[in-house]
């Protein structure tokens, strides 16, 4: 029972929200309800952290790895809920449904990180994906209907990625005769350099490349980020990526360390993501699109951490994706707080933010500097260790290319910071929405995590190493 408690709470929460959606709830009461439910999910996930066991005929494994990821997913969701504005972004008549789908999406992601069987992975992934596809389109109607376009694009690209995954699963099943990951690992041990096994594995990975937005499966990112409501984008930018990274770690760990061909392929994708993301971000004006492209480049770093095929590489990928989620959430917190009406922000909209709200300006600045990889923040420590591991494995050229990317990236991050601190009288008269205590609390918490993970990474690395140790 307690093995499955966070998921049960989520399920119950979505049922409650379904019941609520039948009436016409007030936005504020709905919001308080959602905050309470999410807090409950967070607390139970912490409670279930030390659980261990399997469920559903061994298709569902509860171990420190999955439980840690559940805590991460729950806390990231809680942060998004806390800072998302109470009105504006979401169509008023479907707000209850929106939160219901949010809960179903989170449920899918939590199930995903525990799944150790191909069909369970497929079901969990689709559960979360379809919920999020619908959430994207639930933005309050914009003039040109971009939310519909975004939802459609997300769906079509997503379905295609899923098709790849199913095709790949069929190969793997055909080769090993099992859908259980543990059996597959044993079966693949002799087959890893066979083209069929390689193609199968890569096609399964495509689905997670898509979720994590790795080049060349990133096409959905800019339009979906721009078209979705700000809080939805915040969710998409952080939470599914955490789960996708978890599954990537599980799957890549199956490929033997001798898989040099896979390593080279992944390396190309990683460096391609960095360059594509950073160079495209240089030209962006819309802040969410910019963060989307920055996310692509960071996904490249996560992938780069994985290709070392070693325990510390996986632990590092975990560390990096958590750091990335925190940094991105800090930026989205500012975006959401500035737009109670749910509009999109351009870089110029930050002009004079420092005058209007020093705390938000500080949050934005630290978030962006961290994303840019400036010490002493988590972005630097993560990047440093990725480069360190990469060089240790002899990928000197890739390390240099990654370092050059850091230099490219600083320009566009800095252009936002510049806007926040340059005092343009015309636009700085823009009215400043009142900040709730929840937002201040969340932003301070995020800042503390960003700095703590950057300055004292040792305990965080130890935790992630122990989590990785549980699945290897």
Partner 1 sequence: MDQLLLNPGFPLLSAMVFLPLVGSFILLPVKSDEQCRIVSLAATGLVALLSIALVIGFDNSTAAFQFGESYRWIPSLDINYTVGVDGISILLVVMTALIMPFCVLASWSYIKKRVKPFMICLLIMETAMIGVFVALDFVLFYILWEAMLIPMYLIIAIWGGPRKVYASIKFFLYTLAGSILLLVAIIWLAWQNDFSFYIPDMMWQPYALSAQILIFLAFFLAFAIKVPMFPFHTWLPAAHVEAPTAGSVILASILLKMGTYGFLRFALPIVPDATFYLMPYVLWLSIAGIIYGGLTALAQQDMKKLIAYSSVGHMGFVTLGIFILNKQGIEGAILQMVNHGITTGALFLCVGMIYERTHSRDLHVSSGVGQYMPVFVTFLAFFSLSSFGFPGTNSFVGEFLILAGTFEFDLTLALAAIPGAVLAAAYMLRMLQKVIWGGANNPDQSYLTDLNTREIVTLAPFLLFVLWIGLGPKPFLAMIDVSVVELLADLAAHKSEMLAATLVH
Contacts with partner 1 by CB under 8 A lie at: 312, 354, 358, 365, 369, 374-376, 380, 384-385, 387-388, 391-392, 396, 399-400, 403-404, 406-407, 410-411, 414-415, 417-418, 421-422, 456-458, 461-462, 465
Is the Cβ of residue 302 or residue 372 nearer to partner 1 in the bound state? 372
Cα 67 from Cα 61, distance rounded (Å):
10
Backbone phi and psi for residue 157, each to the nearest 5 degrees, phi listed first: -65, -40
Provide the minimum distance between the beta carbon of 278 and partner 1 in the complex, in angstroms, as a whole number.
13
Q: What is the torsional sign of CA 223, 227, 230, 235?
A: negative
Of the pair 128, 381, the CB lying nearest partner 1 is at 381
Euclidean distance between CA atoms 62 and 115, whole angstroms: 9
Q: For residues 186 and 462, which CB has a smaller minimum distance to partner 1 in the complex?
A: 462
Residue (15 or 404) nearer to partner 1, CB: 404
Nearest distance, CB of residue 206 and partner 1, angstroms? 31
Sign of the torsion formed by the C-alpha atoms of 48, 49, 52 and 55: positive
Cα-Cα-Cα-Cα dihedral of 446, 451, 452, 455, to 10°? 160
- CA–CA distance, 391 with 313 (Å, rounded to integer): 12
Q: 378-392 and 287-306 helices cross at what angle (nearest 10)? A: 40
Minimum CB separation of residue 391 from partner 1 in Å reads: 5
Nearer to partner 1, 273 or 389 (CB): 389
Interatomic CA distance for residues 296 and 272, integer angstroms: 10
Q: Minimum CB separation from partner 1 for residue 49, in Å?
A: 22
Q: What single DSSP character describes residue 53? A: E
Select 190 or 418, whichever has its Cβ closest to partner 1: 418
- Annotate 178-220 with DSSP letters as a single string: --BHHHHHHHHTTTTTSHHHHHHHHHHHHHHHHHHT-TTS-TT
Q: Is the alpha carbon torsion for 48, 441, 135, 227 positive or negative?
A: negative
Q: Measure the CA–CA gap between 125 and 243, rounded to whole angstroms.
A: 9
CB nearer to partner 1: pick between 45 and 464: 464
Element holding 95 (H helix, E strand): helix 95-114
Q: How far is the CB of 5 from partner 1 (least distance, A)?
A: 33
CB of 161 to partner 1, least distance (A): 34
Q: How far is the CB of 387 from partner 1 (least distance, A)?
A: 6
Number of H helices, E strands in the chain: 20, 2
State which residue, 101 or 301, has the beta carbon closest to partner 1.
301
Q: Minimum CB separation from partner 1 for residue 419, in Å?
A: 9
């Amino acid at each position: 029972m307690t093995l499955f408690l966070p998921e049960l709470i989520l399920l119950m929460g979505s049922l409650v929200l379904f019941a609520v959606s039948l009436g016409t709830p007030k936005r504020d009461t709905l919001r308080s309800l959602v905050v309470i439910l999410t807090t409950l999910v967070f607390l139970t996930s912490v409670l279930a952290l030390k659980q261990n066991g399997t469920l559903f005929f061994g298709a569902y494994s509860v171990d420190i790895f999955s439980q840690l990821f559940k805590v991460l997913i729950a806390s990231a969701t809680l942060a998004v809920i806390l800072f998302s504005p109470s009105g504006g972004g979401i169509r008023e008549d479907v707000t209850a449904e929106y939160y219901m789908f949010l809960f179903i999406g989170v449920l899918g992601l939590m199930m995903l990180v525990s799944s150790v069987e191909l069909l369970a992975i497929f079901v969990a992934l689709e559960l979360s994906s379809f919920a999020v596809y619908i959430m994207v389109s639930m933005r309050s109607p914009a003039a040109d209907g971009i939310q519909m376009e975004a939802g459609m694009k997300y769906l079509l690209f997503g379905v295609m990625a899923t098709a790849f995954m199913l095709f790949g699963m069929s190969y793997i099943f055909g080769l090993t005769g099992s859908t259980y990951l543990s059996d597959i690992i044993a079966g693949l041990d002799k087959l890893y350099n066979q083209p069929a096994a390689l193609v199968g594995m890569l096609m399964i990975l495509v689905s997670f490349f898509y979720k994590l937005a790795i080049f060349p499966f990133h096409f959905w990112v800019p339009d979906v980020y721009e078209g979705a409501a700000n809080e939805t984008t915040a969710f998409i930018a952080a939470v599914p990526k955490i789960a996708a990274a978890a599954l990537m770690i599980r799957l890549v760990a199956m490929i033997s360390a001798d898989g040099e061909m896979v390593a080279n392929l992944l390396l190309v994708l990683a460096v391609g993501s960095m360059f594509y993301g950073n160079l495209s971000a240089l030209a962006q004006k819309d802040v969410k699109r910019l963060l989307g492209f920055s996310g692509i480049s960071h996904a490249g770093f996560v992938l780069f951490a994985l290709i070392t095929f070693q325990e510390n590489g996986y632990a590092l990928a975990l560390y990096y994706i958590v750091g990335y989620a925190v940094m991105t959430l800090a930026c989205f917190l500012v975006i959401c707080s500035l737009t109670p009406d749910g509009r999109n922000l351009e870089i110029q909209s930050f002009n004079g933010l420092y005058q209007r709200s020093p705390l938000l300006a500080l949050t934005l600045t630290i978030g962006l500097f961290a994303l840019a990889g400036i010490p002493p923040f988590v972005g630097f420590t993560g990047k440093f260790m990725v480069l360190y591991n990469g060089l240790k494995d002899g990928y000197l050229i890739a390390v240099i290319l990654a370092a050059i990317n850091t230099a490219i990236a600083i320009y566009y991050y800095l252009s936002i910071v510049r806007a926040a601190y340059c005092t343009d009288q015309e636009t700085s008269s823009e009215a400043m929405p009142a900040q709730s205590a929840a937002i201040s609390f969340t932003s301070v918490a995020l800042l503390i995590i960003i700095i703590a993970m950057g300055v004292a990474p040792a305990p965080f690395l130890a935790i992630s190493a122990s989590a990785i140790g549980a699945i290897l």
